[in-house]
A and B are shown apart, each in its own frame.
Chain A
Amino acid sequence: MSLAHFEVHQPTSLAQALDLLSAHRADARVLCGGTDLVPKLKAGVIAIGHLISLKRVPELDHVSFSPDQGLVIGGAARLSDVAEAPGVAENYPGLAHACSVMATTQIRHMGTVAGNIANAAPSGDTAAPLLVHDAVINVVGPGGRRSIPLADFFAGPGASVLDSLEIIETITAPAPQKPCGSQYLRLSARSLVDIAAVGVAALIALDGAGRVNRCRLAMAAVAPTPRRCPEAEALLEGKTPDAGLIAAAAQALSAASCPIDDVRSSAAYRQQMVGVLARRALEHSLKLAQGGAQ
């Protein structure tokens, strides 16, 4: 299939990018790495006259971590940049893992975290690990800036609350409160270069007495959007964790998932795997929080 004709704009500032978006309105789309957008254009799934590339907007090309600011991911930061940025692997190991194993080397050097989130695929790999870190999506549009908790960002498969004239400026997440451990696990039939059939992220933070004062569980590819599961989290929060509680929380996450049968997996398998991955991710997170295995 040949590509339909469209124009690519390469603004060099955020202001220019916003102006271009407003100028072409419904006929324009933000382009970052293009690894989701270009295949869709090629397949004729969407037709667009103007692509506004963010690749040359310096304000968006950064990743940083500091104990005060936490994690700040620029709207054009590539997956590979995020995986390698100082502080990410130590503080957000699930996100670092997602950004270093999803897709392929080439795609990770083109694709961005913002693109992955804006694309809003139920199976998007960065969503679950960001959800367990209470990430916030900070957007800028013609009306100014607003911040949307990631937990409220997705609206359905491929849909989000982002307005078509808005740009994701940063994705932020607070520095995890210590001691804390987290992990993201994904499963797919082809094992390596493949979209996830199931993704689960977990986070456990402990208080001085070894009780869980914060638990987060999130899942991807097993519901219309990536999402957290407060019911499952509540089973561990305030408790001294043990195998039974972990199993119960994993079971609750599995019960809250609503996967579908598709060409990749059956719903029954997926639902069961949510429990398996959740148990593993919780066990590992707990160990990390307890200062155990790395």
Chain B
Amino acid sequence: MKTNPKLIGQSVPRLDAPQKVTGQAIYTDDIKLPGMLYCKMLTSPLPHARIKRIDVSKARALPGVKDVIIGEDTPKVKYGNWRLVPESQDELPLAVDKVRFVGDEVAAVAALDPEIAEKAISLIEVEYEELPALYTVEDSIADGAPLIHEESKGNVSLVRKINYGDVDGSFASAHYVREDTFRVHAVQHAYMEPCASIAAPDEGGRVTLWTSTQTPYIVQCLLASTLGIPENHVRVMKVAVGGGFGGKMELRPWEFCCAFMALRTGRPVKFLWSRKEDLSFGRRRHGMTLYSKIAFAKDGKLIAKDFQVLLDGGAYNAMGPTATFLCGTFGNMAYRLPAYRYFGRHVYTNKPPASAMRGFGAPQAYFAMESQFSMAAEEMGFDPIDLRIINAMEEGDVIPEVATVSTCGFKESLEKVRELSGWDEKRKNRQPGHGLGISAYSFISGGVFNWFNTKYNFSAAEVRVYDDGTAHLFSMACDIGQGPDTVLRQILAADLGLSIDKVRLTAMDTAQTPKADLGSWGSRVTLMNGNAILEATKKIKEMLIPVLFAEFDLNQIQDLAFEDDHIFVKSNPKKRMSFAQAVYKALRGRRGEPLVAQGYYTPRNKGLVSPAFSFGAQVAEVTVDQDTGLVKVDKIYTAHDCGVPINKKAVEGQLEGAIQMGLGYTLSEQFVMKDGRTLNSTFLDYKVPTALDMPPSESVEVETYEPEGPFGAKEAGEGLAIPTAAAIGHAVYEATGYRCKDLPITPEKVLRGLGKLK
């Protein structure tokens, strides 16, 4: 393993924390601009209907209303994140002809205050012709089902197939085969900051947008195309973002409407969603029906898998195509699998669109796979951890048609979690109502597949250094709460040997930061932006090295170290110069030309999916109340390989947050829907676990040094959110005998499963 600079692997406190905890951080809704108008949107009350007539005259006549727009007023350019496949771009900022879910945006108003805007919305008259609506994937793909999008084939918007090896032959000759159908439900990101935007007109028909997003570059491009103006006319700006988890990674209607009306009225326009609207209409994780058939040889080797998935996409594609692709990829990650067939279909229904959500198809795919591994282990007489170890990937393994795994701490993770949780001992002394369950995962460190069809590198950084010993990082990477504002500065500071407080950051401003960055998703930021920074700092070093060589008359076989805000000769540290002094001399030598360097990163020769893979295993320990069906998670144990953790505290934070989301996904969160309407649209009834519900947790990091990652790093963002559901599911089975194949595991399901409730 390589030795890293001191700053790498430390628990550097989050640099944005003081501002956030003292309320100084500026979020989108905190911004107030002179002359600002307030935007409200009219949404469809019906799940599926044809728009026959819209009359906005009364709204327009209301004093204080400055603009009212409907679809017909706009350029009507369809958009969607999959620019590579234009047919997949199925959304319009405001509905034209048809509405497809309760919440589909129909009109927008800009007024002097929110109350007037609200009133104006209520004055808009829309005449609908109601159409039959579809709420399940099964109904949507049935013969003769009405089409939600006329262009789609039977409501299927995207199909992904993978097929290699002799799947059917392997099933025929297998020692053990099982098939199961799993159903997983939609849940929501429940980010702390509801969606919000504010757009201000700039001179020359340009527009600036502050918005709560995790993909400023994507918003810039799609906003420009939907407005019909050059990309360079749109500036998307940095604000503090209160979480995204995948729910804020597309252009959204209010971003368009604020910008469009700002340009029309010449005044800034602000929009804010209420929590109720966010919960009712916001993006969700895909509910799925997953059929999986797996086969093992007598020695426990997995030999084939047939995986068929229907993704409940809701009314539009959103990030569904990516989830459809990745779900298939996760179906054969983590374990060696010689024969695999995947058939994934993304299906429209008349519900709020599903999109990316922490794990991007993985929590669902692994719930199926890991549940099956535990069931198969029991029936074949293997210890569930042993069966996983028998099949675990190793360094150098190839995921067919996808990638080569260059580092892999999977087996170690499985062994470590066995030890940490007291697995063997506790399984020997089982107590009724008490159980231990295991689940594992592998995840990507950023994606390779260029669905956005960007012309630019996937990540970019610009580094400037000054003769006061400071540096300035320009990066489009966005910190949505997960910590890159700290981690990226840590990487920069570590490589140039600066203390971290010397690094100033300008982030997420599409008019100033180098092009491009695809955003915060797919656990890509640390690896990709870290690499871009290291390319830039390398260039900066090359500008400074000659200064010391000249100053100390060094032989070219000498090497320099950058540490403690100084640069010195490795073999003779007395020959040293402060970083500031070196920059000063370099500036003189360059006759005043500033020291600026750019770096870029795009994964190359890394297959189709990801440049690097994380691995991990988790054990859940639960107690189930046999009379009430309540599941209490007593403790969570995790061992994982995220490469080199750049910031230990940040990794820990990701793990804690992942457990919290996993708990909600598994036990308490679900949408109660009736006729396409969401009935539980408050946090009173949409039950996100709170701090008090968090079980204690223990974890170990299995460090590997990933050659493709900055200082050996991989990812720790999304992977950790994957295993909890199957681990708890397995533990509940061990405790009660009830095996849940349809999340969430509610007390009622447990009792029904045990035959104790009619």
Contact = CB atoms under 8 A, between A and B. Distances in A.
Nearest to B687: A190
Could you tell me the dominant secondary structure of chain A's interface residues? loop
B138 interface: no
B165 interface: no
A3 B303 CA distance: 62
A56 to B, nearest CB: 27
B65 interface: no
Contacts of B757: 268-269, 272
B115 A2 contact: yes
A246 B341 CA distance: 58
Interface string A234-277: 00000000000000000000000000000111101100110010
A236 to B, nearest CB: 20
Interface string B618-650: 000000000110101000000000000000000
A118 B727 CA distance: 44
Given A264-B685, A276-B627, A190 B668 contact: yes
Contacts of A104: 690, 692
A209 interface: no
B139 interface: no
A194 interface: yes
A50 to B, nearest CB: 21
B747 interface: yes
Nearest to B663: A190
A192 interface: yes
B628 A189 contact: no
A263 B693 contact: no
Interface in B707-758: 746-748, 751, 757-758
Contact of B690 (A187, A190, A276): A190
B274 interface: yes
B685 A190 contact: no
A294 interface: no
A195 interface: yes
A193 B630 CA distance: 15
B30 to A, nearest CB: 16
A266 B274 contact: no
A177 to B, nearest CB: 31
B693 A190 contact: yes
B668 A189 contact: yes
Could you tell me the dominant secondary structure of chain B's interface residues? loop
Contacts of A194: 687
Contact of A190 (B672, B680, B689): B689
Contacts of A268: 757-758
A1 B680 CA distance: 18
B684 interface: yes
Contact of A189 (B114, B679, B746, B751): B746
Contacts of B630: 187, 191
A43 to B, nearest CB: 9
Given A190-B693, A191-B630, A263-B680, A2 B748 contact: no
Interface in B676-698: 679-680, 684-685, 687-690, 692-693
Interface in B595-635: 627-628, 630, 632
In this complex, the member of B667, B672, B679, B690 whose beta carbon has the largest number of chain A beta carbons within 10 angstroms is B690
A269 B748 CA distance: 6
**Size class of the contact patch on chain A:** 20 to 34
Given A1-B274, A263-B672, A189 B687 contact: yes
Nearest to B748: A269
Given A2-B115, A276-B627, A195 B684 contact: yes
Nearest to B625: A276
A172 B630 CA distance: 35
B628 A276 contact: yes
A217 to B, nearest CB: 18
Nearest to B671: A263
A272 B757 CA distance: 8
B692 to A, nearest CB: 4
Nearest to B692: A192
B280 to A, nearest CB: 13
B628 A191 contact: no
A2 B274 CA distance: 10
Contacts of A1: 274
Nearest to B118: A1
A194 B683 CA distance: 10
Nearest to B681: A263
Contacts of A273: 628
A115 to B, nearest CB: 17
A2 B116 CA distance: 12
Contact of B632 (A187, A189, A191): A191
A263 B679 contact: yes
Contacts of B274: 1
B636 to A, nearest CB: 15
Nearest to B631: A191
Interface in A78-120: 104
A37 to B, nearest CB: 16
A198 B630 CA distance: 13
A272 B755 CA distance: 13
Contacts of B688: 190
Contacts of B628: 187, 273, 276
Contacts of B751: 269, 272
Contacts of B668: 189-190
Contacts of A191: 630, 632, 693
Nearest to A265: B748
Contact of B693 (A2, A192, A264): A192
Contact of B747 (A2, A189, A193, A195): A189
Nearest to A4: B115
Nearest to A264: B685
Contacts of B632: 191
B747 A269 contact: yes
Contacts of B693: 190-193
A200 B687 CA distance: 22
Nearest to A187: B628
A192 B746 CA distance: 15
Nearest to B691: A193
B645 to A, nearest CB: 31
A189 B663 CA distance: 12
A191 B693 CA distance: 7
A263 B748 contact: no
A272 B752 CA distance: 12
A195 B684 CA distance: 8
A192 B668 CA distance: 12
A2 B29 CA distance: 14
Interface in B121-156: none
A86 B680 CA distance: 40
B690 A192 contact: yes
Contacts of B680: 263
Nearest to B693: A192
In this complex, the member of A104, A265, A268, A269 whose beta carbon has the largest number of chain B beta carbons within 10 angstroms is A269
Interface in A179-213: 187, 189-195
Interface string A1-24: 110000000000000000000000
Contacts of A266: 748
Interface in B79-119: 114-115
Contacts of A192: 690, 692-693
Contacts of B689: 190
A36 to B, nearest CB: 12
Contacts of A265: 748
A164 B500 CA distance: 62
A80 to B, nearest CB: 16
A263 B668 CA distance: 12
The 8 closest A-B pairs by CB, nearest first: A192-B692, A193-B690, A263-B672, A190-B687, A263-B680, A276-B627, A269-B748, A263-B685
Given A192-B690, A265-B748, A268-B758, 8 more contacts: A104-B692, A190-B690, A190-B693, A192-B692, A263-B679, A263-B680, A276-B627, A276-B628
17 contacts: A2-B114, A2-B115, A104-B690, A189-B667, A189-B668, A189-B746, A190-B668, A190-B689, A190-B693, A191-B630, A192-B690, A263-B672, A263-B685, A266-B748, A269-B748, A272-B757, A276-B627
